[in-house]
């Protein structure tokens, strides 16, 4: 009898921890919960609000998911006809011929599409993706009118404590910006907050660091790769098993002291770019792994945190009042043709 009660209790606890918090709707799998906004916001503010709940504006990976969100949106947003999803050309991962390609802000590949005709971007057209409640088709705000709309956040099932910065449920990490001036200070700044400069092991990690940096205006940020005795080493001790060097070329040994991201590509820097005069880099990208803890209600997930967009490094660089000369960047970075 006791065993039976114990098992029943464990079963109930288990069930409870699986259900999405009240105020959210369980997705197609129980680890994904959707939050349908109660207010309207422009796309950037909507994404910022989703981040404060530990998620991002929803990406959509299949027709099944799109139909699911459409059906739920009809109930939640019954007094309106459109809602934002997490797609944009503003925060792109690929640019072909000056055409910024659609990307999901959470880093997921933009594979499934359901655009109404005529919604693909032209040259230098920046837009945000919204869906129509009646048709489920996608449209774009190409002139960046910042129209307030309802929106859908895709959240983890529970609360994450990032302190500051943003959580990415796809690789279970928090990202934030460091506040040092040089590579060693930025390294220290991340470690001071129990993290490290970011390590990257897949296209997904790379997308996430790129999108995080872009959304937060980090310029050519440092990542956690450096050299020790002529070998590439991540600061967090993980294996160097993925790379995305600019032009596919690894910087030459032995002068590379740090690595920066230029859009989604990596470039090595020597002592000047890393320690003496890192004028093109306004921060490093810090990361740490975190746990999701279960909560009962979506309000417990919300963290009133400011996204720490590190202006500190930028400000200190500006204080140095060093004239920026165009073209110096190429000079400082190694191995560029």
Ligand X SMILES: *[C@@H]1O[C@H](CO)[C@@H](O)[C@H](O)[C@H]1NC(C)=O
Give the contact letters, 190-229, x = binds to ligand X (CB under 6 A), - = no.
--x--------x----------------------------
Is 141 near ligand X (CB under 6 A)?
Answer: yes
Q: Which stretch binds ligand X (CB under 6 A): 12-20, 101-109, 181-189, 267-275?
A: 181-189
Among 42, 49, 65, 185, binds ligand X (CB under 6 A): 185
Helical (H) or strand (E) element with 196: strand 196-197
- Quote the distance between the C-alpha of residue 217 and its chain's center: 12
For residues 289 and 292, give the distance between their C-alpha atoms in angstroms, rounded to a whole number: 10
The torsion angle over the Cα atoms of residues 58, 61, 64 and 66, rounded to 10 degrees, is 40
For residues 146 and 311, give the distance between their C-alpha atoms in angstroms, rounded to a whole number: 24
Bridge partners, residue 245, by sequence: 266
For residues 44 and 280, give the distance between their C-alpha atoms in angstroms, rounded to a whole number: 25
CB closer to ligand X, 24 vs 88: 88
Helical (H) or strand (E) element with 130: strand 128-132
Nearest-approach distance from CB 60 to ligand X, in angstroms? 21
Opening angle at CA 110, ends 37 and 82, nearest 5: 30
For residues 110 and 166, give the distance between their C-alpha atoms in angstroms, rounded to a whole number: 21
Q: Which stretch binds ligand X (CB under 6 A): 53-61, 138-146, 155-163, 325-333?
A: 138-146
Among 68, 112, 126, 142, binds ligand X (CB under 6 A): 142
Q: For residue 303, with 0-12 CB atoms within 10 Å meaning exposed, 13-18 middle and 19 or more buried, which class applies?
A: middle
CB closer to ligand X, 201 vs 311: 201
Strand pairing of 56-57 and 150-156?
A: antiparallel
How many residues touch ligand X (CB under 6 A)?
13
Nearest-approach distance from CB 196 to ligand X, in angstroms? 12
Site for ligand X in 44-83 (CB under 6 A): none
- Quote the distance between the C-alpha of residue 82 and its chain's center: 24
CB closer to ligand X, 25 vs 233: 233
For residues 222 and 37, give the distance between their C-alpha atoms in angstroms, rounded to a whole number: 35
Among 17, 62, 239, 299, binds ligand X (CB under 6 A): 239
Is 312 near ligand X (CB under 6 A)?
Answer: no
Bridge partners, residue 26, by sequence: 33
CB closer to ligand X, 77 vs 183: 183
Is 172 near ligand X (CB under 6 A)?
Answer: no
Among 135, 143, 146, 324, binds ligand X (CB under 6 A): 143
CB closer to ligand X, 112 vs 115: 115
Determine if residue 139 is left, alpha or beta; phi over 0 gives left, psi from -120 to 50 gives alpha, anything else beta.
beta
Is 287 near ligand X (CB under 6 A)?
Answer: no
Q: Which stretch binds ligand X (CB under 6 A): 47-55, 237-245, 265-273, 315-323?
A: 237-245
Nearest-approach distance from CB 252 to ligand X, in angstroms? 24
Helical (H) or strand (E) element with 67: helix 63-76
Q: Which stretch binds ligand X (CB under 6 A): 52-60, 97-105, 112-120, 182-190?
A: 182-190
Q: Which stretch binds ligand X (CB under 6 A): 42-50, 79-87, 184-192, 254-262?
A: 184-192
Structure tokens at 140: 């774009």
Q: What does the binding site for ligand X look like in residue numbers (CB under 6 A)?
A: 141-143, 145, 180, 185, 188-189, 192, 201, 238-239, 241
């Amino acid at each position: 009898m006791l065993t039976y009660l114990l098992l029943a209790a464990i079963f109930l606890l288990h069930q409870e921890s699986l259900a999405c918090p009240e105020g959210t709707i369980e997705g197609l799998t129980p680890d994904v919960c959707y939050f349908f906004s109660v207010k309207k916001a422009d796309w950037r503010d909507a994404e910022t609000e989703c981040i404060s709940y530990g998620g991002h504006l929803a990406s959509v990976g299949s027709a099944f998911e799109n139909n699911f969100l459409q059906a739920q949106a009809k109930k939640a947003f019954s007094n309106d006809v459109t809602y934002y999803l997490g797609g944009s050309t503003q925060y792109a991962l690929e640019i072909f011929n000056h055409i910024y390609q659609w990307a999901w802000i959470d880093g997921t590949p933009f594979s499934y599409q359901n655009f109404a005709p005529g919604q693909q971007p032209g040259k230098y057209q920046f837009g945000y993706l919204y869906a129509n409640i009646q048709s489920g088709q996608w449209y774009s705000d190409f002139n960046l009118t910042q129209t307030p709309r309802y929106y859908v956040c895709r959240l983890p099932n529970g609360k994450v404590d990032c302190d500051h910065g943003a959580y990415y449920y796809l690789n279970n990490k928090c990202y934030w910006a460091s506040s040092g001036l040089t590579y060693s200070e930025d390294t220290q700044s991340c470690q001071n907050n129990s993290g490290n400069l970011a390590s990257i092991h897949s296209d997904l990690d790379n997308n996430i660091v790129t999108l995080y940096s872009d959304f937060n205006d980090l310029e050519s940020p440092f990542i956690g790769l450096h050299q020790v005795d002529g070998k590439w080493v991540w600061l967090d001790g993980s294996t160097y098993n993925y790379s995305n060097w600019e032009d596919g070329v690894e910087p030459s040994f032995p002068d590379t002291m740090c690595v920066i991201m230029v859009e989604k590509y990596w470039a090595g820097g020597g002592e000047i770019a890393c320690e003496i005069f890192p004028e093109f880099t306004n921060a490093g990208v810090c990361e740490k792994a975190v746990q999701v803890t279960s909560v009962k209600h979506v309000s417990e997930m919300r963290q009133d945190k400011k996204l720490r967009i590190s202006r500190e490094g930028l400000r200190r660089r500006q204080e140095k009042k060093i004239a920026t000369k165009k073209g110096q960047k190429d000079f400082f970075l190694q191995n560029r043709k």
